[in-house]
Amino acid sequence: MLNDREVLSTLSMIKNENLDVRTVTLGISLLDCASHDLSRFNDTIYKRITTLARDLVAVCDEVGDRYGIPVVNKRISVSPIAVAAAPFDSRGMVEVAKTLDQAAKDVNVDFIGGFGALVEKGMAKGDLALIDAIPEALDVTHRMCSSINVASTRAGINMDAVALMGRTIKAAAARTADRDGLGCAKLVVFANIPEDVPFMAGAYMGVGEAGSVINVGVSGPGVVKKAIDRALQDNPGAHLGELADVIKRTAYKVTRVGEIIGREVARILAVEFGIVDLSLAPTPNVGDSVGEIFQSLGLGAIGVPGSTAALAMLNDAVKKGGAFASTRVGGLSGAFIPVSEDLNIAAAASAGHLCLEKLEAMTSVCSVGLDMVALPGDTTAETLSAIIADEMAIGMINKKTTACRLIPVPGKKAGDRVYFGGLLGEAEIMPVRSNDMSSSFINRGGGIPAPLQALIN
């Protein structure tokens, strides 16, 4: 017999605290679709995706309905297109992008990810063609996301790729200038990209994965915040260790929800169940914010001194609770701090509490990086590359994933507002200090060698 508290607290988490499953992502390998014939390749991948994902949305809705937990987004990730479509030039890559977008539209998923390349050590012909195609591909598609891995702890940082990505981001912004550079919101540059991320824009199907797999991204910043608030109401003198324990217990509950939904969806679709990604993923809604958690912990705003420590505690507690709750954990697993996608973080940036440099410091202890950061339109490609290089260095040295999703908004300057709409949110453009002072460093190219794995202080 269930007890009343179990029932009522679950309902409260769903109805008042925005507990949901943020995404169920179906990973689909396209590696065996390889062909030298572009139309044949496009036909094959279209059929593969639309066949495997035909029932994805309906099954997610059915399972979500059965448990009373909304599955907010249904998404698809595919093998890195730079590998699967390696024979094609950039025009061909754009056609592949259109095919992916059409397939996503026809099975009614929110996004499809995997228009990407893994170039941490070097760029092959297919990689260069794909990166060259990114600006146009992001312009002419609606649901397709792109991610490029330019660094890893084992390979170091490919600075040629970093330089190229700075230029690519600028070009993507220019092509979507009428939409505040929206193309860049679907483009991420990674260090140590995990092969099983279910969250966009970084989701792709790793080459070491099965033929198809269900990965789940849970959510729950609102649930964590309310749990902290309740704990402090009961015990206003609670110390941080006690609050870390509250976060851990809450993360356990949130993760269990993802686990049960993901396993059931995988069972019905007869697809292998992959991982649960434990990330706290905010949305631009009040009560669904990672930034609000910082305030509940006692900081005036995210970004003020103490924020890195608070984030380290939050991130670690989420992982501890989540790891116990799931049989397989993966993806990014931590707290996201995407500026425009979190009302509270965007407000802290507008108020001057959160600057680019503090955000960068915080990314050394959280799961992603400089995420959904709108920058002045005159930020040079080299400065973008330099910001990316700094972020990649944090990931490389700390053996963790870091990423940059930077949007240099054409024609806008620091302090201007930018609107991306939907989950991508809105924000004020953050100033970039010392723009255009990194060109010589970036233009040297080459690579930053992989770091020692000992002598790690």
Partner 1 sequence: MSKFVLSVIGKDKPGILAKISTILFTHGCNIEDVSQTILQTEFASIFIVLNPDEHPLGEIGRSLNEALEGMELSAHLRPMAATAPAPVAATQPFVITTRGVDKPGTIAAVTGAIASLSCNVANFRAIITQDEGVDEMIMIFEVDLPEGVEHRNLRRVMQDICSAKGLDVSVQHRDIFETIHRV
- Residue number, 253 or 353, with CB nearest to partner 1: 253
Find the binder of partner 1 among 132, 195, 196, 259 (CB under 8 A). 259
First to last CA, the chain: 53
CB atoms within 10 A of CB 211: 14
Find the binder of partner 1 among 256, 308, 431, 450 (CB under 8 A). 256
Q: At its nearest, how many Å lie between partner 1 and the CB of residue 64?
A: 10
The residue count for binding partner 1 (CB under 8 A) is: 22
Choose the stretch contacting partner 1; rule: CB under 8 A; options: 51-59, 60-68, 268-276, 342-350: 60-68
The DSSP secondary structure of 271-320, one letter per residue, reads -EEEEEE--B---SSTTS-SHHHHHHTT-SSTTSTTHHHHHHHHHHHHHH
Binding residues for partner 1 restricted to 292-321, rule: CB under 8 A? none
The three-class DSSP label of residue 161 is helix
Find the binder of partner 1 among 50, 55, 57, 67 (CB under 8 A). 67
Choose the stretch contacting partner 1; rule: CB under 8 A; options: 66-74, 225-233, 299-307, 370-378: 66-74
CA distance linking residue 202 with residue 207, whole number of Å? 15
| Structural tokens at position 209 | 């994965």
90 binds partner 1 (CB under 8 A): no
The three-class DSSP label of residue 188 is strand
- Residue number, 79 or 255, with CB nearest to partner 1: 255
- Residue number, 14 or 174, with CB nearest to partner 1: 14
Find the binder of partner 1 among 52, 69, 82, 134 (CB under 8 A). 69
Find the binder of partner 1 among 163, 184, 257, 356 (CB under 8 A). 257
7 binds partner 1 (CB under 8 A): yes
58 binds partner 1 (CB under 8 A): no
Using CA atoms, how far residue 276 sits from 158, 310, 329, 422, 457, in Å, is 30, 24, 5, 24, 32
Choose the stretch contacting partner 1; rule: CB under 8 A; options: 78-86, 255-263, 360-368, 412-420: 255-263
Burial, 89: exposed, middle or buried (Cβ in 10 Å; 0-12, 13-18, 19+)?
middle
Binding residues for partner 1 restricted to 8-37, rule: CB under 8 A? 8-11, 13-15
Q: At its nearest, how many Å lie between partner 1 and the CB of residue 231?
A: 17
Find the binder of partner 1 among 177, 253, 283, 431 (CB under 8 A). 253
46 binds partner 1 (CB under 8 A): no
- Residue number, 121 or 256, with CB nearest to partner 1: 256
The three-class DSSP label of residue 354 is coil
Residues 6+ apart with CB under 8 A from 145: 111, 112, 113, 114, 115, 186, 187, 188, 200, 201, 202, 203
CB atoms within 10 A of CB 410: 18
**Torsion angle (degrees, nearest 10) of CA 442, 185, 391, 215:** -130
Residues near partner 1, by CB under 8 A? 1-2, 4, 6-11, 13-15, 65-69, 253, 256-257, 259-260
